[in-house]
Chains A and B, each alone.
Chain A
Amino acid sequence: MTLSPQLYQRLGAASGLLGLLWSMLSIGTLGPSLGLMTVGVLLYSWGLYGPKGAGIQNNGVWHNALTNRGLWGWTLGLALTAFYVCIYWFPEVLGFGKETNTGVVALFDPLSYTLNGNRATQWFMYGTLYSFAIVVFGGKFLWKYRHNRYQIFRTLSVIFFQLIFAYWLPEFLAKMNPETPYFAKDLKNMWPLNYYFFDSWHLKNMLKGETLGLFFLIWGLLLIFVISPILTYAYGKRWYCSWVCGCGALAETAGDPFRQLSSTKISVWKLERWMIHLVLVLSLLTTIGLLWSFFGGKTGREIMSQQQFLGGTLIFLSICLVGIGVYKRNAWDRDTQYTLLSLGFLMLGSLAIHSFSDPRHILGLSAVKVQKWYGFGIGAAFSGVLGVGFYPILGSRVWCRFGCPMAAILGLQQRLFSRFRITTNGGQCISCGNCSTYCEMGIDVRSYAQRGENIVRSSCVGCGICSAVCPRGVLRLENDSPNNRLQEPIFPLGHLNSQKGTL
């Protein structure tokens, strides 16, 4: 007897929900619950992507109440949001206790003891579930795009970085160095995505953390100031956002069924540009302020004085300003202007911080409070609750689009100097719009492709799905000389007298 695809999907959904219920009721151990959920996802994907054979699997996406912002979508969105609210603000609801754990969190105790020698926290539970989701939904995604090697390699990469770098290695290092105070040990989680990297307590802990701490301090600085610019120049921001980053990893796997919900409206694009760059400027200013106050403190003073820090900051910002200005002198566009303006504003801001702050107060605000509110606003509310909780409503990359300062930095660089672009294949576009619909960053890819124009956008994370879903082979992600990247549209396309630009 053969089972129908729908039956596979139902069985899968049932098994997954049973697993979820199991863990919520906290029966026995974690294993069976995760097992049931895994089996559920596998059965579901088998039913969904099996019968059609290898190829694009978007049949019925907009007919399904889970993926077209229907009843099931809203239900899931609410459930996810509630889960995040519990983790951030009411961990006791999940069973995290002062002395011992109960409930769901307790299920994770044995695993936590094995990995890091302590009982589970709600964060350990979250990290485990997060990685679990990336692995099983990554498996589903691999099956969905089994015909596409770019997607396969990319997905294996995010699974690897999540499991080894984000999940296992930090726990392992913590277990091996039980004496050192806490500092972030995720090798790929760089500032400003790791928003507390430059907080005084974190810097102090790294400095007190012996060789390992020092290594992470130097690595962190190298990563953002040297390694990342080089890689972004060579490959675009995708090397991070869709190949390495943990937020990206969840969006690309568990979030994939919701990518089509990202709005492509021009008004949303405008909002996005303002928001993400405001967040960036804010986070840079906050970081400068926090560092400034750090160098006023006991540990910091031994490294450099506040004057020296201010001087260094100003020199660094001027180098950026002049460098970009010179590099872009022949292609002086709006983006360049805004970038330079923001850099100027940051220099003024640094001066203001130096003139109007004291060690405990940055521009009249308590340093501790600034830390806290920034962490709450950006770290918790935005990336977690809105970012993931709203997957089924706003699409899978809300955080990356509107709130991630890291994405903003990489995006600026991608836009200003990088070899990366999406090449449009001459005149082959039929304006069908699949590319725009499935762009998780809400880029209206079609608006470029139908004019024969390459796509060079700061927000593009290089997931490659536009290229995959295009039925006419129009789009290709490429790294090539930066000079021929922003070619003008050809007009009229395919005509004998066609010329670049508008005739």
Chain B
Amino acid sequence: MDPVIIIGNGIAGISCARQLRKRSDVPICIVSEESPYFFARTALMYVYMGHMPKRDLYPYEKSFWKKNRLDRIQERVVEIRPEEKTIVFQSGKTQTYSRLVLALGSKARSLPLPGSDLQGVRGLYHWQDLEALEAHTPKLKQASIIGGGLIGVELAEMLHSRGIEVDFWVRESSFWNTVLPPEESAIINRHIESHGIRLHLNAQVQALQGDDEGAVSHVLTADGKEVPAQWVGATIGVEPNIEFLKQSSLETDRGILVNPYLETNWPDVYAIGDCAQQKNPPSHRRPIEAVWYTGRMMGETLALTLAGKKEAYRPGPWFNSAKFFDIEYQIYGQLSAQADPKNESQIFWQHPSAAKLIRWSFHPETRLFLGVNSLGIRLRHEYFHNHLLAGSTIDQVISGMQAAYFDPEFYPNYHPSILKTLNSY
């Protein structure tokens, strides 16, 4: 029997493979060019900063793959022939499949700037990106990061931890203010600067300048500054890694288009994770969600279908988290950076001195609870998940909040202060 082939051994592909193996004996083969084993992309920064050894990137031991009969091939796939149910490797070899799962992930978007092909200008996504950065590190004195998102701030922390001066170029007027409301964003601005990062807001980078050897040497800004940088991190976002499929008959837009069953327009071919784009996403979700959790959920859902129990991908309430240097951030449900007062009211509590904040959003008329986000205070996922599913009101959510905190024991209890603030609204 031809195997189920999964291209991509990221969280999406591996979640699918694991759950499929639990439910079925079909041969499974995982193809990926980047790494022989599944690794946690989310921990790349910790390896660079010396928190973790490289071997701890791998969530499963080597014996796991053998024990679960998950075959692995480390090679690049260059073509798919859906009529013949065949994939073609870079080496020219081919392999037929019974069903094919595309879990190709993303790649860093390249900078639309003159000089973006200079040596030392690079995103941070794949293992090889980290290797390149590591190899350059001994020579780096100053680095620039262009693009103020989650990977940008991680890269800033990484470089800074190795004693490299960092200029952080952000186009927006405040860090990540497309997602973070103004108070949150302001806290993070200050925090980034407090670590000695030079945060340039409203920044217009015009070009990158190289030296005689073709390596980047300076960042040129619209207002005429010339800032030295021997490394430029391109962190203006990621995009689905589907170049080799763009010319084929596979339906794509920014990502590979899928229906709720994660099926593509090719028979027996599915797409999951960062590379999948929902044709009709649920109202509370975006068509492409390039985060760990959705990859895992899609993989697990698809495994059910592949094992013969057809299951639609129906993500529950949105959740996510991040860490900006020392400040943890969590979000559950919907909460806008700039709330439209017709549909969304917000209330928030902020600690007078420490970087701690919680904000709730709800519907102004029905008082339906919409979402919550927090900085510096851990919140219990289950609590908000259940309230969001149950359609609770903001008042119900607030009255039970004592059960929602997830900080370690003995941490200060901010609940009385929070209630006081909320009552004054």
Which residues, 1 to 43 on B, are CB-close (under 8 Å) to A? 11, 19, 22, 40, 42-43
Instruction: Tell me whether A149 and B408 are in contact in the complex, defined as CB-CB below 8 angstroms, given that A434-B46, A472-B323 are known contacts.
Output: yes
B297, A493: Cβ atoms closer than 8 Å: yes
The distance from the CB of A406 to the nearest CB of chain B, in whole angstroms, is 24
Q: How far is the CA of A503 from the CA of B385 in the complex (A)?
A: 19
Alpha-carbon gap, A432 to B48, bound state (A): 13
- Most chain A beta-carbon neighbours within 10 Å: one of B309, B330, B381, B382: B381
Does A459 reach chain B (CB closer than 8 Å)? no
Contact among A68, A446, A495 for B301, CB-based, below 8 A? A495
* Structural contact, B59 and A446, CB atoms closer than 8 A: yes
Complex: chain A residue closest to B320, CB-CB:
A428
A29 at the interface (CB under 8 A from B): no
A433 to chain B: which residues have CB within 8 Å? 40, 43, 46, 52, 56-57, 59
Q: Quote the shortest CB–CB distance from A359 to chain B (angstroms).
A: 51
Least CB distance, B26 to chain A, in whole angstroms = 17
Q: Does B425 contact A (CB under 8 A)?
A: no
A496 sits at the interface (CB 8 A): yes
Stretch at the interface among B103-111, B310-318, B338-346: B310-318
Check A431–B409 contact: CB distance below 8 A. no
Interface readout for A136-172 with B: 1 if CB under 8 Å, 0 if not?
0000000000011110110000000000000000000
Question: How distant is the Cα of A333 from the Cα of B317 in the complex, in angstroms?
Answer: 35
Q: Which residue of B lies closest to A63 (CB)?
A: B50
A103 at the interface (CB under 8 A from B): no
A184-200 vs B: 1/0 string, CB under 8 Å?
00000000000000000
Tell me the complex Cα distance, A425–B316, Å: 16
Within 8 A of A (CB), among B302-344: 304, 309, 311, 313-317, 319, 321, 323, 325-326, 328, 330
A426 and B330 contact, CB distance less than 8 A:
no
The answer to whether B161 touches A59, judged by C-beta atoms less than 8 angstroms apart, is yes
Contact code string B182-211 (vs A, CB < 8 Å = 1, else 0): 000000000000110000000000000000
Q: Mark A422-445, 1 if CB is under 8 A from B, else 0.
A: 000111101111101100000000
Tell me whether A494 and B326 are in contact (CB under 8 A).
no
Q: Is B378's CB within 8 Å of the partner chain A?
A: yes
Contact (Cβ within 8 A) A473 B321: yes
Question: Are B49 and A497 closer than 8 Å at their CB atoms?
Answer: no
Known: A436-B56, A464-B408. A496 touches B293 (CB 8 A): no
Q: Mark A51-84, 1 if CB is under 8 A from B, else 0.
A: 0111110111111100010000000000000000
Q: Is the CB of B43 within 8 A of A427?
A: no
Contact of A426 among B301, B309, B385 (CB under 8 A): B385
Q: Mark A32-67, 1 if CB is under 8 A from B, else 0.
A: 000000000000000000001111101111111000
* Bound CA span A401–B378, Å: 31
**Which residue on A lies nearest to B59, using beta carbons?**
A431
Chain B stretch 250-292: residues in CB contact (< 8 A) with chain A: 292
The answer to the question of B414 belonging to the interface, with a C-beta cut-off of 8 Å to chain A, is no
Q: How far is the CA of A467 from the CA of B385 in the complex (A)?
A: 21
Q: Across the interface, do B52 and A493 meet the contact criterion of CB distance under 8 Å?
A: no
Pick from A54, A152, A432, A471: contact of B328, CB below 8 A. Answer: A471
- Identify the closest chain A residue to B38 (Cβ): A431
**B291: nearest chain-A partner, CB-CB:** A430
- A148 and B381 form a contact (CB under 8 A): no
**Nearest-Cβ distance from residue A269 to partner chain B, whole angstroms:** 11
A132 at the interface (CB under 8 A from B): no
In the assembled complex, B138 has its CB within 8 A of some CB on chain A: no
In the bound complex, residues from chain A placing their C-beta under 8 Å from that of B57 are 433
CB neighbours of A221 from chain B (8 A): none
Residue from the list B50, B53, B297 in contact with A495, Cβ < 8 A:
B297
Q: Is B380 engaged at the interface, CB distance under 8 Å to the other chain?
A: yes
B300 within 8 Å of A (CB atoms): yes
Asked whether, in the complex, the Cβ of B297 is within 8 Å of the Cβ of A61, the reply is no
Q: Is A502 an interface residue (CB 8 A)?
A: yes
Which residues of chain A come closer than 8 Å to B195, judged between CB atoms?
52-53
Asked if B378 contacts A431 (CB within 8 A), the reply is no
With contacts A477-B408, A492-B301 known, is A425 near B380, CB below 8 A?
yes
Q: How far is B379's CA from A472's CA once the two chains are assembled, in angstroms?
A: 10
Q: Which of A64, A425, A468 has the most CB of B within 10 A?
A: A425
Q: How far is the CA of A152 from the CA of B408 in the complex (A)?
A: 12
Q: Mark A463-503, 1 if CB is under 8 A from B, else 0.
A: 01001110111001110000000000001111111100011
A395 to chain B, nearest CB (A): 13
Asked if B411 CB lies within 8 Å of chain A CBs, one says yes
A494 in contact with B52 given A432-B40, A471-B323, A472-B328 (CB within 8 Å): no
Bound complex: CA A468 to CA B408 (Å): 8
Complexed CA–CA distance, A64 and B161 (Å): 14
Q: Out of B47, B53, B381, which one reaches A428, CB within 8 Å?
A: B381
Is A450's beta carbon under 8 Å from chain B? yes
For A54, what are the chain B residues with a Cβ–Cβ distance below 8 Å? 326
Residue interface mask B375-419, A partner, CB < 8 A = 1: 000111110010001000000000000000011111110000000
Whether the Cβ atoms of A476 and B408 lie closer than 8 Å is: yes
Given A62-B50, A426-B319, do A55 and B300 touch, yes or no (CB 8 Å)? no
Flag if B316 contacts A56 (CB, 8 Å).
no
Are B408 and A494 interface neighbours, CB within 8 A? no
With the chains together, A152 CA to B309 CA distance in Å?
A: 51
Whether B381 pairs with A68 at a CB distance below 8 angstroms is: no
Q: Is the CB of B52 within 8 A of A62?
A: yes
| A266 contacts B by Cβ under 8 Å | yes
Sample of 18 more A-B contacts, CB < 8 Å, known A68-B53, A437-B52, A472-B328: A54-B326, A59-B50, A63-B50, A147-B326, A425-B378, A425-B381, A430-B40, A430-B292, A432-B43, A433-B46, A433-B56, A437-B51, A471-B328, A473-B328, A473-B379, A493-B296, A494-B385, A503-B304
Interface residues of B (CB under 8 A from A): 11, 19, 22, 40, 42-43, 46-47, 49-53, 56-57, 59, 61, 63, 161, 194-195, 292-293, 296-297, 300-301, 304, 309, 311, 313-317, 319, 321, 323, 325-326, 328, 330, 378-382, 385, 389, 406-412
Which are the 7 A-B pairs with shortest beta-carbon distances? A426-B381, A55-B326, A473-B378, A492-B300, A432-B43, A149-B410, A496-B314
| Pairs A–B under 8 Å by Cβ, sample size 9 | A56-B326, A59-B50, A426-B380, A426-B381, A426-B382, A476-B378, A491-B19, A494-B317, A495-B313
